[in-house]
Structure 1
Amino acid sequence: MSAAAVRFLQSLAIPEGPSAGKSVRLAPFQKQFVKGSLAKNVSVAALSIGRGNAKTALSAGLGLGALLGKIDNQPRREIVIAAKTRDQGRIAWNFVEGFSRSLPEETQKRLTFRRAPRLEIEFEGDGGGHVLRVLASDAKNALGGAPTLALLDERGHWSRDQGDALEHALLSGLGKRGGRALIISTSAPDDSHPFSKWLDDEQEGVYRQEHRPAPGLPADDLESLLIANPGAKHGIGSSVDWLQAQARRAIARGGSTLTSFRLYNRNERVSGETRDLLLTVDEWLNCEAVELPPRQGSVVIGIDLGGSASMTAAAFYWPQTGRLECRGWFPSQPSLSDRGASDGVGGRYAEMSSRGELSTLGNATVPVAPWLSEVMRHVEGEPIAGLIMDRYKQSELGEAIDRAGIRVPLIWRGFGFRDGNEDCDRFKRACFDGKVKASPSLLLRSAFADAVTLRDPANNMKLAKARSTGRIDAASASVLAVAEGARTLARPVKQGRAIWA
């Protein structure tokens, strides 16, 4: 089946762009996807690749082949192109329409194109009744259908509720006739997205192909750019020179420009919403250092006490040198693997544990007094400037501090707009001024990826989660510690007074 599909695709002519009119020649990564997606016993194929690598054109060509019976010769075939909006679906439909112009004239006469009330293409040959149609992300449009092939275009950027409902409706319909689903997109913003789970979770009958570089690399790193854009070496989509030029421009502009470049062109899993992020991925990466400054001077400890489901974290900050260390804790039940599956992050928690960034303590909840003792042991022998905590749990923490026998200055802060605005602002300022240096930490990277700020009418901000299962406790503890450290440095040194006898 895959060999026939490749022959059909390479019999077509490119409908648009600089190479319009030339014969289609599939690149190795495209042949790999065609072979994998059409393999026996495969019902779902997921492809993640950078923008501009002809993933929509490839799937549209397969859709045309399915319509004409070149891939599947069932009677009354039904091919569905599902997209977030009708205009997005029109892009794939236009590719199908453009490819059809290179078909033999006799075949073209049997094709009927409809643009209203919905985008459709009907093929009257081979018994007739074969149709390709476009659906926007509304599950009601898919109910009652029995597609033989479904193309889910840019699945990583559909709205959660409507997108999930349409996906479920299509997949259940495919089961009626043994159909296949091709799910294509650039990376979703996070690991918890359904498209990310298609790529991360090994499942029977699912083919996965992901072109995503390792995280944390410079945006203009050539090798990783080519991983996300394999078509650049074969004249497909953006050229290598253009990608590098855009990367340099994104680095120079920073902010949302750089984040968008990482999401769409480098195919990284970073949030496209940059307005409310506490720190963008690149802003935090600037705080990471291979060689940390020394533990010098007094240490400020910020802590965030979680419950049974949430994480408990402590951050240790030395204001004189800018050194930041952070550790997290979970209860032992459920296990880190089960908790990672529940939170939609796969094996991330287990990896944090292997790196020494995350530990388990207690059974169903983290016992507060023993945990505080572990926190203090981490900086045993160091002068402590203060223990910074959320006053929301002041009673519980106060009792535990007494039981643990901790005798250090206690500072209570709130996470509302009053204290939160100052703490977030001081933290961001310290990061931008190069006064925060931490080792590369998966714990902190994950926390800042989920840490956003909410603003009141007066533009004051406070820390919040980007998603319900996000774990931002390490970020919260770091904000408390660094903000207090900044206040410590800003206070004038008290001078002794002369006393006259």
Structure 2
Amino acid sequence: MKASTKAIRFLETLAIPEGPLAGKPVRLAPFQKQFVRGALGKDVNTAILSIGRGNAKTALSSGIALGALLGEWDDQPRREILIAARTRDQGRIAYDFVAGFARSLPDDVQAALTFRRSPRLEITFEDDGGEHSLRVIAADGKTALGTAPTLVLMDERGHWMADQGDALEHALLSGLGKRGGRALIISTSAPDDAHPFSRWIDEPVPGSYVQEHRPAPGLPADDLASLKEANPGAKHGIGADLNWLQAQARRAIARGGSALTSFRLYNRNERVSGESRDVLLTVDEWQACEVSELPPRQGPCVIGIDLGGSASMSAAAFYWPETNRLECLGTFPCKPSLLDRGRNDSVGDRYVEMARRGELSTLGDATVPVAPWLSNVMRHVEGEAIAALTMDRYKQAELGEAIDRAGIRCPLVWRGQGFKDGGEDCERFRRAAFDGKVKTNPSLLLRSAFADAVTLRDPANNLKLAKARSTGRIDAAAATVLAVAEGARIAGRGNSKGGRVAWA
């Protein structure tokens, strides 16, 4: 008999340990049977499940862990099952499910089980093959060194701390090879495509089984069909029902901000940033700025410049206040390559994809040469009337010299990036975005930048742009804020009545 068949039969002998259906027999839903068959299939050593919160993924995996401990389909002596989680308390959830399922086992099997909660969460089982163990470890790679597990459960892998989580994953997977073990990696979606959990899904390796329940991006949060897709257990009585999910979606839409992004991340299983700090724009607010057809280049253009160094990106944003059209381009030095730079910044091949879409280019060697880059920027809007070139005054000397060398003749506006100028620019940009006065094509460059762009507030509630993570690249967002804010000031001043200097 196949291991998956044995596992399904074993799981359906258990009783539900908690919730409204506590005490009733387990009846696996079709998507759960699908995962068990895939995870325990022949030649599969890693199974990945991504699904919305509340769909019993931890309960299902805990039941599999209990069956592995008892040797229902694996008769290796001295079996070792590890439950890995971000924290001990997170791992305790899976431990409690295992303990709850064990209460429905026959008395003689229960008598062979020993439960320990101190100094660590552990369950041991004794039979003719010796003593078998199941224990919980937190996301510290050193705790997994020297282990030889036959089954590993990585719970909520998409939300482990970056460095410690990666170290623990590597330690666990290296130990699995000693005894032909299997790994179950379960989680709601990670915040972005570059996260290791996302890469397990997007770049499956030989010997892996992937099951993802994630709707298409950009749909309304209360869209019923996509809620069903992210929560397949709802129609089988598992977790929240669809009416509750729709009500919560509408509440999140009404509240907006972090409430909406959290709902999309956890309940809709979308890959959106769960950043709880004050984001400049939420994913929904930015997507409202994206249009399928750009308005024309009409009227004067405002150019926002954010000059980077050797590691940072240099970005230029082009904004036409008369039609609300926005364009943005980024530039990196040639060394290191875009692929290597993306790996260093923990975004995978995102920069390569931006270059393929024409949103990102390379120039220079280790740094972007400022004067040639500014010349390229001006060529992008050659023939257009330039209303202003707005830049950060922190690099005024360097930019001023480069502007002279490039022969650029247009009005220059210098802005600070602190709470005074930055607060005004951020608020003007947000107001323009909310009023529908920012329109751009779908841009991976801008999406990525705004996903990493958060704001800091001083005691007077002024804003300042900042990065959500140290390797985030918000240069395109900073340039966009400068351009749109200056465009809003120009639009607010109205048409000039003459008497001013004309720039030739």
Q: 1:279 and 1:210 mapped to 2: Cα distance? A: 27
Of 388, 401, 417 in structure 1, the residue corresponding to residue 419 of structure 2 is: 417
Q: 1:228 and 1:448 mapped to 2: Cα distance? A: 25
Cross-structure match for 2:463: 461
Cross-structure match for 1:299: 301
Q: 1:347 and 1:169 mapped to 2: Cα distance? A: 25
Alignment pair present for 1:400 and 2:405: no
**Bigger shift: 90-99 or 389-398?**
389-398
Of 158, 167, 170 in structure 1, the residue corresponding to residue 169 of structure 2 is: 167
Q: Give the match's secondary structure for 2:233.
A: helix
Cross-structure match for 2:326: 324
Of 44, 54, 57 in structure 2, the residue corresponding to residue 55 of structure 1 is: 57
Of 112, 115, 119 in structure 2, the residue corresponding to residue 117 of structure 1 is: 119
Contact 2:195 2:347 (C-alpha < 8 Å) held by counterparts:
no
Alignment of 1:226-265 (within 5 A): 226-265=228-267
**Bigger shift: 418-427 or 39-48?**
39-48
Change (3 A) 1:226 1:335: farther
Q: 1:477 and 1:121 mapped to 2: Cα distance? A: 56
Normalising by structure 1, we get a TM-score of 0.91
Alignment of 1:74-85 (within 5 A): 74-85=76-87
Of 15, 19, 22 in structure 2, the residue corresponding to residue 20 of structure 1 is: 22
Q: Percent identity?
A: 77
Whichever residue aligns with residue 194 of structure 1, its letter is: P
Q: Give the match's secondary structure for 1:317.
A: strand
Alignment pair present for 1:269 and 2:295: no
Q: Give the match's secondary structure for 1:438.
A: coil
Contact 1:255 1:274 (C-alpha < 8 Å) held by counterparts:
no
Q: 1:310 and 1:180 mapped to 2: Cα distance? A: 41
Q: Give the match's secondary structure for 1:187.
A: coil
Q: 1:296 and 1:274 mapped to 2: Cα distance? A: 38
Cross-structure match for 1:2: 4
Cross-structure match for 2:432: 430
Change (3 A) 1:323 1:406: same
Change (3 A) 1:141 1:333: closer
Please list the CA deviations of residues 398-417 of structure 1 after superposition, one character each: whole Å capped at 9, or x if unmatched.
Answer: 23322322111111222233
Q: 1:269 and 1:428 mapped to 2: Cα distance? A: 23
Change (3 A) 1:402 1:280: same
Q: 1:456 and 1:167 mapped to 2: Cα distance? A: 39
Contact 2:388 2:410 (C-alpha < 8 Å) held by counterparts:
yes
Whichever residue aligns with residue 61 of structure 2, its letter is: S
How many residues get paired?
497
The Cα of 1:335 is off from its aligned counterpart by: 4.0
Whichever residue aligns with residue 207 of structure 1, its letter is: Y
Of 373, 376, 382 in structure 2, the residue corresponding to residue 374 of structure 1 is: 376
Q: 1:111 and 1:285 mapped to 2: Cα distance? A: 53
Q: 2:459 and 2:282 mapped to 1: Cα distance? A: 23
Q: 1:328 and 1:28 mapped to 2: Cα distance? A: 46
The Cα of 1:108 is off from its aligned counterpart by: 2.2
Whichever residue aligns with residue 65 of structure 1, its letter is: G
Cross-structure match for 1:97: 99
Whichever residue aligns with residue 69 of structure 2, its letter is: L
**Unpaired stretches in structure 2, ≥5 consecutive residues:** 500-504
Q: 2:125 and 2:376 mapped to 1: Cα distance? A: 70
The Cα of 1:424 is off from its aligned counterpart by: 1.5
Q: Give the match's secondary structure for 1:470.
A: coil
Alignment of 1:274-353 (within 5 A): 274-353=276-355
The Cα of 1:292 is off from its aligned counterpart by: 3.3
Cross-structure match for 2:502: none
Of 192, 195, 199 in structure 2, the residue corresponding to residue 193 of structure 1 is: 195
Q: CA RMSD in A?
A: 2.4
Please list the CA deviations of residues 48-93 of structure 1 after superposition, one character each: whole Å capped at 9, or x if unmatched.
Answer: 2110111101110110011000132111112121222333222212
Contact 1:144 1:173 (C-alpha < 8 Å) held by counterparts:
yes
Whichever residue aligns with residue 275 of structure 2, its letter is: E
Contact 1:259 1:274 (C-alpha < 8 Å) held by counterparts:
no
The Cα of 1:492 is off from its aligned counterpart by: 6.0
Cross-structure match for 1:72: 74
Contact 2:308 2:475 (C-alpha < 8 Å) held by counterparts:
yes
Q: 1:309 and 1:42 mapped to 2: Cα distance? A: 40
Q: Give the match's secondary structure for 1:434.
A: coil
**Bigger shift: 298-307 or 158-167?**
158-167
Q: 1:17 and 1:27 mapped to 2: Cα distance? A: 17
Please list the CA deviations of residues 230-269 of structure 1 after superposition, one character each: whole Å capped at 9, or x if unmatched.
Answer: 2223332222222222211211111111111011011122
Cross-structure match for 2:144: 142
Whichever residue aligns with residue 85 of structure 2, its letter is: A
Q: 1:242 and 1:42 mapped to 2: Cα distance? A: 36
Contact 1:228 1:266 (C-alpha < 8 Å) held by counterparts:
yes
The Cα of 1:6 is off from its aligned counterpart by: 2.1
**Bigger shift: 457-466 or 296-305?**
457-466
Whichever residue aligns with residue 175 of structure 2, its letter is: G
Cross-structure match for 1:473: 475
Q: 1:124 and 1:132 mapped to 2: Cα distance? A: 12
Please list the CA deviations of residues 376-418 of structure 1 after superposition, one character each: whole Å capped at 9, or x if unmatched.
Answer: 2222222211011122332332233223221111112222333
Contact 1:192 1:343 (C-alpha < 8 Å) held by counterparts:
no
The Cα of 1:299 is off from its aligned counterpart by: 1.2
Cross-structure match for 2:361: 359
Q: Give the match's secondary structure for 2:130.
A: coil
Please list the CA deviations of residues 356-383 of structure 1 after superposition, one character each: whole Å capped at 9, or x if unmatched.
Answer: 3223344444333332223222222222
The Cα of 1:431 is off from its aligned counterpart by: 1.6
**Bigger shift: 392-401 or 278-287?**
392-401
* Runs of 4+ displaced beyond 6 Å: none
Of 210, 213, 224 in structure 2, the residue corresponding to residue 211 of structure 1 is: 213
Q: Give the match's secondary structure for 2:414.
A: strand
The Cα of 1:332 is off from its aligned counterpart by: 4.1
Contact 1:370 1:404 (C-alpha < 8 Å) held by counterparts:
yes
Q: Give the match's secondary structure for 2:153.
A: strand
Whichever residue aligns with residue 133 of structure 2, its letter is: V
Whichever residue aligns with residue 146 of structure 1, its letter is: A
Q: Give the match's secondary structure for 2:388.
A: strand
Q: Give the match's secondary structure for 2:127.
A: coil
Contact 2:275 2:468 (C-alpha < 8 Å) held by counterparts:
no
The Cα of 1:201 is off from its aligned counterpart by: 3.3
